[in-house]
Structure 1
């Protein structure tokens, strides 16, 4: 595959495109702009909600971003949500009820549009006082469709808690995780970064065989499997989660070593 070149570049953000200080290096920006100038679209595929995409617009303010692990497509230039695949209230209610029954000390939050709502006892790790962030009761959280349901546990090990959530959810929704904490991310059935990227790629007339995807965590697995099965490139960062490494076609340097830019420059 030495002469292979992508027709679309897709990258996760945290731990992949972004360095640990939450910035994108000048070298990475320059490399992405070089490909974009050559007609290759760059698509961000992230677990982040749209409200966390404002800063990246200042650096890469073009194209479509796949947010909330595939549930939301965001036009970065206009900063408009152009598509959503929501999790419905009946599923929200049944999943939260069963999780709360199995582990009463499980706390919940939801993402929708540019809003974040969490139970009073839920402890957000970021932007606690930011616009769009507010407390709400569990009944209020599950009363409307949402892009993503977050379930958090403060004491269980991450993998044990995620396995519990997967057991409770079954085929009613999609469960993944991208944090070092015991935080499970729950989306509508079939909604993953792969489904979001497939929609965006189709709009460009590009198939998975011509896509390169970069990532570092289990919420990137579906996207890796999507491109790998078709002959595309699934590139794990050097520090990536072992489960993601297992489905990668390639490995590049760490995010602090500009691994994304280094891999693209070598093509």
Structure 2
């Protein structure tokens, strides 16, 4: 594949495109601009909700973001949601009731549109006082469809808690994790970064064979599988989770080493 060139560049944000200080280096921006000038756009594929995309929009100012692990497509230029796959209320009620029964200290929050709601005891890590963030009861949160249900436990180990959530959810929804905390991210059944990415790729008239995707956490595995099985390149960061490294076609440097830019420059 020495002469292979992508027609679409896809990158996760945290731990991948962004350095540990939450910035994108000048060299990475220059490399992305070089590809964009050559007609190859960048798509961001992230677990972040749309409301967390304001700062990256100020840096990039263009393109599409696949947010909430594939549930939401966001036009960065207009900052408009163009597509959203939501969890229905009946699934929300069933899952939260059973999780609370098995682990009473499980606390919940939901993402939808540009809004975030969380239980009073749920401890958000970021944007606590940001617009669109508010406290709500669980009954209020499960009354309407949402893009993502968040389940957090403050004491259980991450992998143990995520496994519990997966067992409870079963085939009712999709569970993933992109945090070092015991935080499970629950999306509508079948919704992953891969499904969101496939929608964006179709809009650009390209297939997985034309895509290079970069990532570092298990919530990138579905996108890696879609690209790898279709003949594209799935590139894990050097510090990536072992499960993602196993799904990769290539490995590049860490985010602080501008691994995305280094790999693209070498193509």
Map of 1:79 onto structure 2: 79
Helix, strand or coil for the counterpart of 1:14? coil
Residues 1-267 of structure 1: matches in 2 within 5 Å?
Answer: 1-267=1-267
Q: CA deviation at 1:20?
A: 0.4
Q: CA deviation at 1:130?
A: 0.9
Q: CA deviation at 1:194?
A: 0.2
Q: CA deviation at 1:39?
A: 0.5
Q: CA deviation at 1:143?
A: 0.5
Output the TM-score relative to the length of structure 2.
1.00
CA distance in 2, matches of 1:249, 1:188: 28
Q: Point out where structure 1 has 5 or more consecutive residues left out of the alignment.
A: none
Deviations 1:210-241 (A, max 9, x none): 10000000000000000000110000000000
CA distance in 2, matches of 1:236, 1:61: 25
Helix, strand or coil for the counterpart of 1:126? coil
CA distance in 1, matches of 2:34, 2:118: 41
Helix, strand or coil for the counterpart of 1:58? helix
CA-based RMSD of the aligned residues comes to 0.4
CA distance in 1, matches of 2:33, 2:217: 25
Deviations 1:89-117 (A, max 9, x none): 00000000000001011000000011110
* Number of residue equivalences: 267
Helix, strand or coil for the counterpart of 2:91? helix
CA distance in 2, matches of 1:190, 1:41: 26
Runs of 4+ more than 2 Å apart: none
Helix, strand or coil for the counterpart of 2:116? strand
Helix, strand or coil for the counterpart of 2:28? helix
Q: CA deviation at 1:63?
A: 1.2
CA distance in 1, matches of 2:7, 2:27: 21
Deviations 1:53-109 (A, max 9, x none): 000011111111100000000000000000000011000000000000010110000
Helix, strand or coil for the counterpart of 1:16? coil
Q: CA deviation at 1:162?
A: 0.2
Helix, strand or coil for the counterpart of 1:198? helix
